[in-house]
Amino acid sequence: MKRFWQWTVVLGTLLLAICGYQQVAHAENVGYTVNAVLPKNQDDSAATYFALRVKPKQQQKLSVVISNQTKSASKFKVSVNQAITNDNGVIDYSQSHPTLDQSLKVGIKDIFAKQSLPTVTVPGKKSKTVTVQLKMPAKKLNGMVLGGINVQKVTNADQKAKKGVNITNSFAYVIGVRLRESAVNVAPNMTLLSVKAGQSNSLNQVNTKLQNPEPGIMSNLKVKAKVTAQGSDKVILQNEKSNLAMAPNSSFNYALPFGNKNLKAGTYTLTLDATAQGGYKWHFVRNFTITDKQLNQLANKYNQPQQKSYFWWFVAGGAVIVLLLAIILYLLWRNRRDRNQED
């Protein structure tokens, strides 16, 4: 019997390993590193990213070192992305074509020459220095411009995508770039742009679009919000999040999920309080309306077929196989035991 359970454990472990191998391998086999070559006008010696003091009309080359840790040559695409705030309340440098906030006057892509963003080949077990060119506008810059140099390995899937094949997710290194012409920090601000019913991942929610219209970072942001029926003190929805941040001149949707609540058409009141590092505080009260038409649109979106994930089907299938093998082994063991007893 002991041998039977040993075989069962071994078979179960093998099946789980097969189910989980692909994700683990993808995470571990990055195969390269990227480091910044910090210039003399770096104004933060503790930073490992580019935190630069610049001047109007200044032109400068920034260099990063790409180290290929694999045995074969690899191609890498270099791009510069604008820092935005994603809907998780995190400053995001990874999006190559983000929706920019209307308050952004000078962005990172206005400063870096497009022709200086190369695709380079690095031999196996070698390093290569890549240089990109920036040119500051003639008009004096107020506050900061924030972005990142994005270095992404070009995979076979990426190249096939150009021929109409789906692209797969891949890892990228980002080296931050912060450009300032003055040591004076511009105070962040918050405005409430809109409140409306929406949806994310087929889940209904109230979206409150918060904006930082100033060229300064908002850090250690805490938001507390609630929704009541207009004229009522009874809280229908509420949410609180902390340790958020906002990029300069950016906006994001702070969501209050419906959860198990079914909001009816009507007029509601949002009350939202926010605090940020530096003693900044904001308070908003805004009425908004949810119509029958909006609820029907949300219901239609919810009923649309969603792309399915088959991971748990594989896990369940593996569990069934383990169980069947266990039963077969048990029957074989019992049959042998009965024969030995007869002898």
Domain 38-180: state its class.
Answer: mainly beta
Residue-level pLDDT, tens digit, the chain, 343 residues: 545 444 444 444 343 333 433 333 343 468 999 999 999 999 999 999 999 999 999 999 999 999 999 999 999 999 999 999 999 999 999 998 999 999 999 999 999 987 778 899 999 999 999 999 999 999 999 999 999 999 999 987 555 555 443 434 568 999 999 999 999 999 999 999 999 998 887 788 999 999 999 999 999 999 999 999 999 999 999 999 999 999 999 999 999 998 877 789 999 999 999 999 999 999 999 999 999 998 888 887 655 444 444 556 667 777 888 888 888 888 877 777 777 666 6
Does pTM surpass 0.85? Answer: no
Residue type, 341: Q
Q: Which residue, among 64, 79, 4, 80, has the nearest Cα to 32 in the 3D structure?
A: 64
The domain spans of the chain are: 1-26+314-343, 38-180, 191-293
H runs (alpha helix) in the chain = 2-28, 108-111, 156-161, 292-303, 311-342
pLDDT value, residue 11: 43
Dihedral, CA of residue 294, residue 298, residue 300 and residue 302, to nearest 10: -170
Tell me whether the CATH fold assigned to 38-180 matches the one assigned to 191-293.
yes
Q: Which residues lie below 8 Å from residue 142, measured CB to CB, with a gap of 6+?
A: 186, 215
| Cross-strand pairs, 5 | none
- The C-alpha angle 210, 213, 219, rounded to 5 degrees, equals 70
The answer regarding whether domain 191-293 maps to CATH 2.40.50.140 reads no
Q: Is 158 helix (H, G, I), strand (E, B) or coil?
A: helix
What is the longest distance spanned by two Cα atoms in the chain? 100
Listed as own residue / partner, the contacts of 293-299 with beta carbons closer than 8 Å and 24 or more positions apart are 294/196, 294/197, 294/265, 295/197, 295/263, 295/264, 295/265, 298/197, 298/198, 298/199, 298/204
pLDDT value, residue 342: 62
Q: Are 217 and 246 in contact (CB under 8 A)?
A: yes
